[in-house]
Amino acid sequence: MKPKIFIACDTNKESEVKKIISQTKTNKLDIGYKFGLEFFYSKNGRKFISKIKKNKLFLDLKLNDIPNTSANALKSLRDLKNIDYITVHANSGEETIRTVIKTAKKINSRIKILLVTVLTSISNTSIKKIGHTKPIKELVKKQSLLAKECGCHGIVCAGSDLKFVKKIFKGEIFTPGIRLKGDSSGDQKRVMSPKKAFQNGSSALVLGRSIVKGNIRNNLIKLIKELS
């Protein structure tokens, strides 16, 4: 089975997304594309996404509101028939998570709901400033159990959390914060190499800057070599 990779199209420019898609074609990886708030909120972002046909699509909206608002937000996407994954944040709570899963089944049985745990940009120091008294590991364990109990299709977690998340949650596990050798961590606090992430139990990797900054084709070749 080919390694599943989602390329993060974190830009507000349609031309940049077209370039990313055209230059990341390969038969050695199972390539999909992740669209977050930046592109989805752009003037023609939603329209552009609706026209993508051949690749798996990951809509990273991190729904985090009361159940009714989150459900209605999802209903407003009913015309996007090509979306494979949509994210809901663990902070939204059990009722919202269950409502989002139920709503997704009604509007499009194709959509799988991924639960976002603690962001890879957050450290144990910053988690305390938010008000949590437990370390990230303990918090992510709770969130993984919540995902399991609510019936989420998958989880989004940092590479550092993979080993213990895998013991709790048996669905798909997506791993952001992936960096190739020599790449800067940037604003990420908890990063991991692609090969180690797969070895630790990840189902799919999410790569942005390591692929799309600089020479995209060369970066993709570098990723393939690191995974071989």
Q: Yes or no: say if 160 and 146 are a contact pair by the CB < 8 Å rule.
A: no
Cα torsion angle, 189, 195, 199, 205, sign: positive
Annotated catalytic residue 62: yes
Active-site pick, 2, 47, 53, 62: 62
Partners of residue 114 on adjacent β-strands:
87, 154
Cα torsion angle, 137, 31, 187, 61, sign: negative
From the list 136, 200, 192, 193, the residue with the least C-alpha distance to 163 is 200
Q: Which two tokens stand for residue 155?
A: 């989880």
Between CA 15 and CA 31 the distance in angstroms is: 19
Name the H helices within 25-171. 37-40, 45-50, 67-75, 94-107, 124-130, 136-150, 162-168
Looking at the annotation, which residues are catalytic?
A: 62
